[in-house]
Structure formats: C-alpha cells, structure tokens
Structure 1
Amino acid sequence: MPASKDMPSTIKRSPKKAQETYAKTHDSAVEEYGEGERAHRTAFASLKHSFEKSGDHWEPKEKKGPSDAKAAGGRDTKARTAGGVDANASKQHLLEQARKLQISGRSRMTKSELVDAIEKANASSTRKARGK
C-alpha cells in the first residue's frame, strides 16, 4: 500500500518534504520487507534523520543526523527513543522548542528533563489534533 494513503496524521500536517521523505522510504521498505511495522519504523527512522517532532507535526532539524541514542545505535541497541524529539540538539535549541510548546519551568530543567517534557507536550498536542 502506498504510504501516502496510510500516512500518520502528524506527517500529513507537516511540510511536503517530510511527507515525501516518509512516503518514499516507506514504499521502499515495503518492497524490501513487506507491509507492516518494520516498514513504518524504517520510514520514521528516515524522517527523524532530517526532521523533529514539534507539537502535532514535524519540522526540519537545524542539522541532519541521528535524533537520539536509539537512532545512533541502530536496531539492536537497548537505548530508548525520544519520540521524535531531537535529543542530540543543543540545550538552547531544546529550550526554544519548550518555549514554543509553552512548557512551564523549562529554564530550570536539565537537558534530559527538557527532552522528556517536549516529548510529553508533543504527545499531548498530537492527541488534541487527532480529536478535532
């Protein structure tokens, strides 16, 4: 099934380049692995290399590369994913993301706490957008 028909809503609300990245990778992964979870995981991994989740959509990252320890370590790593948050970004960037998402107490948070708070705020924004 072409990815454009089964694209997650967060990607549908994202820039065209993000949609194209996801769709192209997904369709290629379906050819390689067949339809299913592995194709979707592969497409998200590709998307997270160039985009980061911001609220209920994806935005281009300042710098391409792995977004978290899971992406850097590959499929067999035991590291946790950051759910689309660019955990490898600078603390300043994370503070700006937290400000955009109106996360209170952000100035006193550590980098790890910012990543967790942004991930939680993104999930909340996505739930609200899907409920509309």
Structure 2
Amino acid sequence: MPGREELPSTIARSSKKAQRTWIKAHDSAVETYGEGQRSHRTAFAALKHSFEKVGDHWEPKQSKGPSDEQAARSTPKPGKTAGGVDANAGKEHLYDLAKELGVAGRSSMTKQQLVEAIDKANNRKTAKARS
C-alpha cells in the first residue's frame, strides 16, 4: 500500500517535507522488504534523521543525523527507541523542548530523564490529538 495511504496521524499533522520524507522512505522500503512493520520502522528511521517529534507532530531538527541508537542502525530492528525525541541533541535543547511541552521538574532532570519525559509528553499530546 502506498505510503500516502498509510501516513501516521502525527506525520499528517507535520510539514509537507516531513510527509514526503516518510512517504518516499516507506515506499522504497516496501519495494525492498515488502509491506509491513519493517517498512514502517525504516520510514520512521529515515524521518528521524531530519525531524524530531514535538507534541503531536514532527518538526525539523537543528542538525541532521540519527536521533537515537535505534535510528542509527542501517537496518532497523525491533527494539527500544526514543520515540521521535532527538536523544542525541544537547541537554539545553532537550530542556527547552521540555519547557515548551510543559514538563514539570525538568530543571533537575538528567539528559536521559528529559528524553523519557519528552517522549511521555509527546505521547500524551498525540493521544489527545487523536481523540
């Protein structure tokens, strides 16, 4: 099925460039691996190189590159990801993002705690947008 028809809601609420990135990567992965979960993982890995999830949509990252260890793999496998949070970004960027999302207690969090808190805040905003 073409990527345009399978576009996740968080990407549908994002810029046209983010949508094109996901669709192109998804369709290419379907040609290589066939339809299914692997094609979706590959498309998200490609998206995470240029975009990060902020709330219920994806925004361009400050610098391109994989957002977490999982996205850095050439062939994504099932495993733990940062859920679209740019875990490789600096702590200051993560703090600013947590502030934008209204994460409580952010000033005393470690970088890893900020990543996890931002992921939870993103999931809450996505769930709210879907309802």
TM-score by length of 1: 0.94
**Residue matched to 1:117:** 117
Q: Provide, for residues 72-105 of structure 1, a one-character-per-residue CA deviation record: whole Å limited to 9, x for no partner.
A: 2454779731010000000000011001100111
Gap regions ≥5 residues in structure 2: none
SS in 2 for 1:21: helix
Q: Is the 8 A contact 2:41 2:76 kept in 1?
A: no
**Residue matched to 2:98:** 98
User: Aligned ranges for residues 20-99 of structure 1 at < 5 Å?
Assistant: 20-75=20-75, 80-99=80-99
Change (3 A) 1:76 1:25: closer
Q: Is the 8 A contact 1:67 1:88 kept in 2?
A: yes
SS in 2 for 1:40: helix
> Aligned pair count?
131
Aligned AA (1:106) = R
Change (3 A) 1:79 1:25: closer
Deviation of 1:17 after TM superposition, in Å, equals 0.4
RMSD of aligned Cα (Å): 1.6
Q: Is the 8 A contact 1:73 1:79 kept in 2?
A: no
Q: Is the 8 A contact 2:42 2:75 kept in 1?
A: no
Gap regions ≥5 residues in structure 1: none
Deviation of 1:115 after TM superposition, in Å, equals 0.2
SS in 2 for 1:71: helix
Deviation of 1:128 after TM superposition, in Å, equals 0.4
SS in 1 for 2:4: helix
TM-score by length of 2: 0.94
The CA distance in 2 between the partners of 1:20 and 1:90, in whole Å, is 27
The CA distance in 1 between the partners of 2:72 and 2:91, in whole Å, is 19
